[in-house]
Structure 1
Amino acid sequence: MITPAAAGSKAGNRATAERWALLLESAGHTVSVVTEYHGAPCDAFIALHAWRSVGAVRRFRQCWPGKPLIVALTGTDIYRHQHEFPDETLYSMAEADVLIGLHEQVARDIPGRFAAKLVTLFQSADQPEAGSLPDPARAPTGFQVCVIGHLREEKDSLRAAYAARLLPDDSRIQILCAGKPHNGTWQRMAEQEMQQNPRFRWLGELDKHETRHLMAQSQLMVISSIMEGGANVVSEACRAGLPVIASDIPGNIGLLGAGYPGYFPVRDERALADLLYRAEQSADFLARLKAEVSQLAGRFEPEKERASLEQALELARQRCAMGV
């Protein structure tokens, strides 16, 4: 399995690769996770990211043309790179025996000729341990809203902070943002926002335990991305019963469902501020969001993710055998 993210990285691709390796090993497979591929023999090859892994895909096809190839599509593959870099991205998609999509609406957003080899896989999250579930009474002060993910353009990471500026004076909402800045510009933006916005705190990059603690002390999570392939943090929120307010992009709707009541238009901080205030002021609305995410929790169980990986491997084997 190849991922562009190096060992030790907290990038989503690395977390996915390591989780998939553990799930596949628990099913009896032997898995090597690499960041470069030089043609080593294997029974099947999984590439995370169609565009970034195109070199490895080419090499695998040259060295092992008759063996199963699975390509997992990221949000940037689907919503950016297949349009900006069509030759490389569509090559990987075409060469794959199976494509993995991480939300239910991926089929709408890739070329129709690939639909027959698409497997939908929901990324899983562990059930939080007893005593670490969200509990509003545990928040130190106010109404705590968390934003979790690397600070970058695709995540629109400061939109919740901008929305918080528009809240009424009686609101007790505080935005806590956790994530590594993509570059110096994003770091400066986060630091400046902290200086100017008393409702906003940037916590920097947190480890897994610290992130779970942040979620446990939050009443709400905001996913403000402008593009997502299917964010694992949504899975984590649902498994923890943490209500979510999300941008109305396919990557969120494909996880939470079209009828989920917590969407706002992309980049619309006014609409986001209205939803945040409603969640703070209306116990019924907050309870409805919590009930919705709790009802979805079952689709993000590790056993189901492992079954989807096994399904992808079996379909890839079948398509190879048939010469499809």
Structure 2
Amino acid sequence: MNKQTICIVSPALAQANNGNWQTARRWAQLLRTRYQADIASDWPAAAAPDLLIALHARRSAAPLAHFCAAHPDRPAILVLTGTDLYRDIRSDADAQASLERATALVLLQPAGLSELPPHLRSKARVIYQSAPALQPATRASAPHHHEILMVGHLREEKDPRTFMLAASYLTARTARLIHIGGVLDPALGDAATAANAAWPGRYQWLGPLPHADTRQRLKHAHAMAICSRMEGGANVIIEAVTSGVPVLASDISGNRGMLGDDYLGYFPLGDAQALATLVDKSINVPGWYAQLQGQCARRAKLFTPEAEQAALLDLVDNLLHTN
């Protein structure tokens, strides 16, 4: 018996190595235990899938619209991955139309539900992303350096300038701010190069690294910083938490949905001095750092591949069975 087919339409493919691609790659793997699942920038009209999964309401609006028009009897899932949820659906007509067209909506954390128009919330569900757990790195009692890692391409949504500027406020002698990510905004690339020169030994921009290398670097970090202005549900938070690495996060809805409202590691959006204060505290106050570790360890249970696969298959199975 032939397996039913699923096409995951992603605005970013392997060469982008960003969050949308990581979601598409992982979901294809999780679905292939039961379905034939492929990733593309558009669905194949000559062999339309039984079910479409579209990532990003605005950037995948055209493939989603064409699929729903050509195959109104087949289900389509729209995954709201970040900038679409927290920006585009407020003002972009294509993104708004995508919300209406999709059979089901998927959010990557629960705080995003309040961003949806009330009449659409009933067709939305939350599926937390996942990452395989890594054994936490053994840490020296008095390390020479405490590495704080930021992982994200240089673009305004990730607010890398706040991370750079935090280097100027650090007081902990052992703190090192390390940024991994490629240049999407040339001005931010110039800023990172300038920060390398301005704060040697405090800030270092490594450029893009392969995903596996980044995960290993993250595993050995003292903490991970995420400074983003908007996030649908950052996979890098999951990769940190499932490696035993605490997170220092900008206080935005998407990060609260991942880490919880009671999390101790938030700093005000865009406040480099407040981020530096948290970095210093994580190094100088072991008890507070241990509290962060404990909070992250409790959240890690939400982010297992088994839980993500079960939720994803449950949604897909039910849509294909009832359509």
Gaps of 5+ in 2: 1-7
Q: What's 2:190 paired with?
A: 188
User: Whose relative contact order is higher, 1 or 2, with alpha carbons under 8 Å and at least 6 apart?
Assistant: 1
Q: What's 2:56 paired with?
A: 49
Preserved contact between residue 12 and residue 21 of structure 2 (Cα < 8 Å): yes
Q: Indicate yes or no: 2:240 matched with 1:237.
A: yes
Amino acid at match of 1:275: L
User: TM-score with structure 2 length normalisation?
Assistant: 0.93
Preserved contact between residue 164 and residue 203 of structure 2 (Cα < 8 Å): yes
Residue of structure 2 aligned with 1:13, choices 17, 20, 30? 20
Q: What's 1:147 paired with?
A: 150
In 2, Cα distance between the equivalents of 1:126 and 1:194?
32
In 1, Cα distance between the equivalents of 2:142 and 2:163?
18
In 2, Cα distance between the equivalents of 1:60 and 1:208?
32
Q: What's 1:124 paired with?
A: 130
Residue of structure 1 aligned with 2:170, choices 149, 167, 181? 167
Q: Indicate yes or no: 2:40 matched with 1:37.
A: no
Residue of structure 1 aligned with 2:84, choices 62, 65, 77? 77
Deviation (angstroms), 1:7 = 3.2
In 2, Cα distance between the equivalents of 1:136 and 1:236?
18
Deviation (angstroms), 1:142 = 1.7
Amino acid at match of 2:242: R
In 2, Cα distance between the equivalents of 1:213 and 1:239?
12
Deviation (angstroms), 1:140 = 7.2
Q: What's 2:228 paired with?
A: 225
In 2, Cα distance between the equivalents of 1:139 and 1:179?
29
Spell out the pairing of 1:1-324 with structure 2 (5 A cutoff): 1-26=8-33, 28-39=34-45, 40-85=47-92, 87-128=93-134, 130=135, 133-137=136-140, 141-168=144-171, 170-198=172-200, 199-317=202-320, 321=323
Aligned residues: CA RMSD: 1.7
SS in 1 for 2:307: helix
Aligned residue-pair number: 314
SS in 1 for 2:249: strand
Deviation (angstroms), 1:253 = 0.4
Structure 1 window deviating more from structure 2 (209-218 vs 92-101): it is 209-218
Preserved contact between residue 103 and residue 120 of structure 1 (Cα < 8 Å): yes
Alignment CA distance shift 1:72-1:138 (3 Å): farther
Deviation (angstroms), 1:134 = 3.1
Q: Deviation per CA, 1:267-313: give whole Å up to 9, x if none.
A: 01121111111111000011111111111111100011111112322
SS in 2 for 1:226: coil
SS in 2 for 1:32: strand
In 2, Cα distance between the equivalents of 1:118 and 1:31?
22
Alignment CA distance shift 1:84-1:4 (3 Å): same
Deviation (angstroms), 1:221 = 0.6
Deviation (angstroms), 1:146 = 0.4
In 2, Cα distance between the equivalents of 1:271 and 1:68?
46
In 1, Cα distance between the equivalents of 2:94 and 2:307?
31
Deviation (angstroms), 1:154 = 0.6
Amino acid at match of 1:248: D
Deviation (angstroms), 1:80 = 1.3
Preserved contact between residue 43 and residue 49 of structure 2 (Cα < 8 Å): no
Deviation (angstroms), 1:141 = 3.2
Preserved contact between residue 146 and residue 176 of structure 2 (Cα < 8 Å): yes
In 2, Cα distance between the equivalents of 1:139 and 1:226?
34
In 1, Cα distance between the equivalents of 2:74 and 2:141?
52
Amino acid at match of 1:4: P
Preserved contact between residue 224 and residue 240 of structure 2 (Cα < 8 Å): yes
User: TM-score with structure 1 length normalisation?
Assistant: 0.93
Amino acid at match of 1:260: Y
Preserved contact between residue 45 and residue 69 of structure 1 (Cα < 8 Å): yes
SS in 2 for 1:136: coil
